[in-house]
Amino acid sequence: EVQLVESGGNSVQPGGSLRLSCAASGFPFRVYSMNWVRQAPGEGLEWIAYLTSDERTMFYADSVKGRFIISRDNAKNLLYLQMRSLRSEDTAVYYCVRSVRGQGDYWGQGTLVSVSS
Amino acid sequence: EVVMTQSPATLSVSPGERASLSCRASQSVNSDHLAWYQQRPGQAPRLLISGASSRATGIPDRFSGSGSGTDFTLIISRLEPEDFAVYYCQQYVASPLTFTFGPGTRVEIK
């Protein structure tokens, strides 16, 4: 069974940093592209980061470019999202998503990041 | 940049009735890269349809997707109580690399 379990969400002040983790199991993690998608309270979905299995290709939404870094450890089946210079508009549930042909076929349950003073 | 729009924003339907949801792209997209997701209240989204028309694993056959180019449709043939949710379409372009969701359609009980 495919499982994606996010962790690391927390409350942080504006300008702060946070690192999210996603533990993957039930599939060969090293061969799949992985992603982070977020959802602000009461809002729709925003695809914010993508990383191929070989780490050669990545994508960032304009809203997080230069502030967030997606990375992975294929030996440990872990996906990360390093977030810095956090803003109030980064407040959201962050989902770890496996993708095939650019479509998210498995989603974690999400971890909440709250940015406020 | 491809912009995805969905209509209607809210659809009121009675259980057992048919629902038709529309997704339109601002420019032609590859049908292989068009997906539909369902998000029930308090839950993570789940993939319903990939490649515009292929049901994901475990998705009942009352869900069907169709379309090409700029116009795509999700049909729920007979609404069950668990189908009342928000539905999102999403497209992916390989070059330049972009991922875009539509704003969603809320299907509510009439």
Amino acid identity for residue B54 in this structure: S
pLDDT tens digit sequence for A34-77: 999 999 999 999 999 999 999 999 999 999 999 999 999 999 99
Is 90 exceeded by the pLDDT of residue B83?
A: yes
Q: How far is CA A86 from CA A44, A54, A75, in A?
A: 20, 28, 29
Task: Spell out the residues 6+ positions from residue B86 whose beta carbon is closer than 8 angstroms to its own.
Answer: B38, B39, B104, B105, B106, B107
Q: What is the pLDDT of residue B36?
A: 98
B27 by Cβ neighbours in 10 Å (0-12 / 13-18 / 19+) ranks as exposed
CA distance A106 to chain B (A): 7
Asked if residue B96 has a cis previous peptide bond (ω within 30° of 0), the answer is: yes
Q: Which residues in chain B (61-100) have CB-CB distances under 8 A to chain A?
A: 88, 90-94, 97-100
B33/A102 CB distance under 8 A: yes
Q: What is the pLDDT of residue B44?
A: 98
pLDDT tens digit sequence for B51-74: 999 999 999 999 999 999 999 999
A106 by Cβ neighbours in 10 Å (0-12 / 13-18 / 19+) ranks as buried
Amino acid identity for residue A82 in this structure: Q
User: Among residues B86, B78, B68, which one has the least CA distance to residue B6?
Assistant: B86
B38 touches chain A (CB under 8 A): no
Map residue B45 onto helix, strand or coil: coil
DSSP H or E run through B20: strand B19-29
Is 90 exceeded by the pLDDT of residue A109?
A: yes
Using pLDDT thresholds of 50, 70 and 90, give the confidence band for residue A115: very high
Which chain B residue's Cα is nearest to A58?
A: B97
Q: What is the pLDDT of residue A3?
A: 98
The residue-averaged pLDDT of B83-105 equals 95
pLDDT tens digit sequence for B1-43: 899 999 999 999 999 999 999 999 999 999 999 999 999 999 9
Is 90 exceeded by the pLDDT of residue B95?
A: no
B36 touches chain A (CB under 8 A): no
Q: How far is CA A6 from CA A22, A35, A110, in A?
A: 4, 12, 6
A102/B99 CB distance under 8 A: yes
Q: Please list the residues that pair with B17 across neighbouring strands.
A: none
At residue B82, what are phi and psi to the nearest 5 degrees?
-75, -5
Q: How far apart are CA A79 and CA B91, in angstroms?
A: 23
Chain A residues touching B92 at Cβ < 8 A = 101-103
